[in-house]
Amino acid sequence: MTTTAPRPTRTVLSPPPAARPARSPRRIAFSHTLSRWDFKLSPYLYISPFFILFAIVGLFPLVYTAWVSVHEWNLIGGQGDFVGFENFAFVLAQPQFWIALRNTFSIFLISAVPQVIAALLIAAVLDRNLRGKTFWRMGVLLPYVVAPVAVALIFSNMFGDQYGLINNMLGRLGLDPIGWHSEILPSHLAIATMVNFRWTGYTALILLAAMQAIPRDYYEAAMIDGAGIVRQFFSITIPQLRPTLIFVIVTSTIGGLQIFDEPRMYDQFGQGGASGQWMTITIYLYNLGWGQLNFGRAAAVAWLLFLIIVIVGLINLAITRSIASNDSPEKVLARAQRRAARKELAR
């Protein structure tokens, strides 16, 4: 309680307490906060073009499609009455929607699974010391340069039912011709072939880039420990590729579920076959929106497809995480060390 004496002088000498803290910090703070803003906000500013563009070309269409899907909407007549979830109910009640869903998943599985496996193997081979490295690496990317429509035109010709190259060759071998355009599974195989032709090299190059970033010490250590090539591949390469594998699998899922060019160019009508043998969801969407000019229903299909992709993407992510994290190289090395230690003890 000794502070009683100086208090009155302070109150007399100093300006009103309300004004003082406000004035002097302001002078310091302007340049100060400016630099603090610069530090904190500039990064956001630099990446903002992406988000602004995304809002215009990504988010807005997404929201607008949702708006269209709850209305009656004609391609030309435009907006009609609000119908709630009627468009969704209609689409879900159509056997065609479920056929399209079946085809989409079937083509996706037939194309994506062998594609990632083949790309992994190709990348592993390219990762070794080959003669003419660049030649081989560019070679696998070559099909990617060809436009998908051109690929589809060539392949659909090769897969012709009566005069196609492939059925001709089967005939030479004494086999029965296959109904590439009339049966369900053969048509899926043919379309998956086009997809794989175009995308395997691209996927392989991405995986190759990731493989080259794996520290060579791991392999040396494993080699000294006596691990063969196969063991190295499964215990070092694959776990180290985890983030890249997740990326490749997620993008190929999105691409696979949205597949459009190849099935559309597969026959002359582009509607997925007379009984919808290879009608994918995007083709169904196109038939509704541009064939029947019914945008409301097409928008409902678009949203359903979006939800399906999100769900499948999450499932994929979960599976890839659990597969890849079991065998991290640290654990492998630790295990190798333990084994070595045991051998040492036994001696």
Partner 1 sequence: MTTSRRTTAAAALAGATAFALLATGCASTDNAASSEDGEITLTIATFNDFGYTDELLAQYEDENPGVTIVHNKAATSNDARDNFFTKLGAGSGLADIEAVEIDWFAEMMQYSDKLTDLSSDDVADRWVDWKTDAATDADGRLVAYGTDIGPEAVCYRSDLFAAAGLPTDRAEVAELLEGDWDRYFEVGQEYVDASGAAWFDSAGATYQGMINQVEFAYEQEDGSVIATENDEVKAIYEQVLEASATQSAHLGQWSDDWFAGLANGAFATMLCPGWMLGVISGNAPDVTGWDVADVFPGGGGNWGGSYLTVPAQGKNTEAAAKLAAWLTAPEQQLSAFEAAGTFPSQVEAYESDALLSATNPYFNEAPVGEILINRSQAIDVAPFKSVKYFPINDAMQKALTRVDSDKTHTIESSWEQFVADVNALG
Question: What minimum distance in Å lies between the beta carbon of 145 and partner 1?
Answer: 23
Is the CB of 135 or the CB of 269 nearer to partner 1? 269
Contact between 78 and partner 1 by CB under 8 A: the answer reads yes
With beta carbons less than 8 A apart as the criterion, state whether 272 and 59 touch.
no
Q: State which residue, 56 or 141, has the beta carbon closest to partner 1.
A: 56
Q: How far apart are CA 276 and CA 267, in angstroms?
A: 12
Structure tokens at 48: 């903002």
Judged by CB under 8 A, does residue 182 bind partner 1? yes
Which residue among 11, 35, 275, 325 contacts partner 1 (CB under 8 A)? 275
Determine if 21 is a binding residue for partner 1 (CB under 8 A): no
State the binding string over 231-270 for partner 1 (x if CB under 8 A, else -).
------------------------------------xxxx
How far is the C-alpha of 191 from the C-alpha of 15, rounded, in Å? 83
Q: Which residue from 64, 89, 93, 94 is spatially nearest to 79, judged by alpha carbons?
A: 64
Judged by CB under 8 A, the number of residues near partner 1 is: 41
Given phi > 0 = left and psi -120 to 50 = alpha, else beta, which region is 99? alpha
Chosen residue from 29, 45, 223, 310 binding partner 1 by CB under 8 A: 45
Burial class (CB in 10 A: 0-12, 13-18, 19+), 34: exposed
Q: Which is nearer to partner 1, 44 or 135 (CB)?
A: 44
Does 32 participate in binding partner 1 (rule CB under 8 A)? no
**Minimum distance from CB of 79 to partner 1 (Å)?**
11
**Distance (Å, rounded) from C-alpha 28 to C-alpha 244?**
48
Measured distance CA(277)–CA(181) in Å, rounded:
8
Tokens of 62: 């997404």
CB of 202 or CB of 284, closer to partner 1: 284
- The nearest distance, CB 13 to partner 1, in angstroms, is 35
- Look at residue 110 and give its three-state secondary structure: helix
Shorter beta-carbon distance to partner 1: residue 137 or 264: 264
Per DSSP bridges, beta strands 71-74 and 78-82 are antiparallel
Binding region for partner 1 (CB under 8 A) out of 24-32, 194-202, 248-256, 274-282: 274-282
Q: Closer to partner 1 at the Cβ: 137 or 181?
A: 181
Q: Give the shortest CB-249-to-partner 1 separation in angstroms.
A: 33
Burial of 21 (0-12, 13-18, 19+ CB in 10 A): exposed
**Position 86 contacts partner 1 (CB under 8 A):** no
* Stretch of 7-15, 180-188, 313-321, 324-332 lying at the interface with partner 1 (CB under 8 A): 180-188
Question: Which one of residues 65, 66, 86, 96 is an interface residue with partner 1 (CB under 8 A)?
Answer: 96
Give CA–CA dist 89/80, Å, rounded: 17
Cα distance between residue 228 and residue 219, in whole Å: 10
- Do residues 229 and 251 lie in contact, with contact meaning Cβ atoms separated by under 8 Å? no
Nearest to partner 1 of 94, 258 (CB atom): 94
Largest CA distance in the chain: 116
User: How far, in Å, CA of 195 to CA of 267, rounded?
Assistant: 16
User: Is residue 274 a contact residue for partner 1 (CB under 8 A)?
Assistant: yes
Span from 181-189, 213-221, 254-262, 332-340 in contact with partner 1 (CB under 8 A): 181-189
Per CB under 8 A, 291 contacts partner 1: yes
Instruction: Rule CB under 8 A: say whether 4 interacts with partner 1.
Output: no
Among 179, 113, 13, 18, which residue's Cα sits nearest to residue 320? 113
Q: H/E element holding 31?
A: helix 19-54
* Residue selected from 114, 143, 179, 186 as contacting partner 1 according to rule CB under 8 A: 179
Chain residues binding partner 1 by CB under 8 A are: 37, 40-41, 44-45, 48-49, 52, 56, 74-78, 94-96, 156-157, 160-164, 179, 181-183, 267-271, 273-275, 277, 290-293
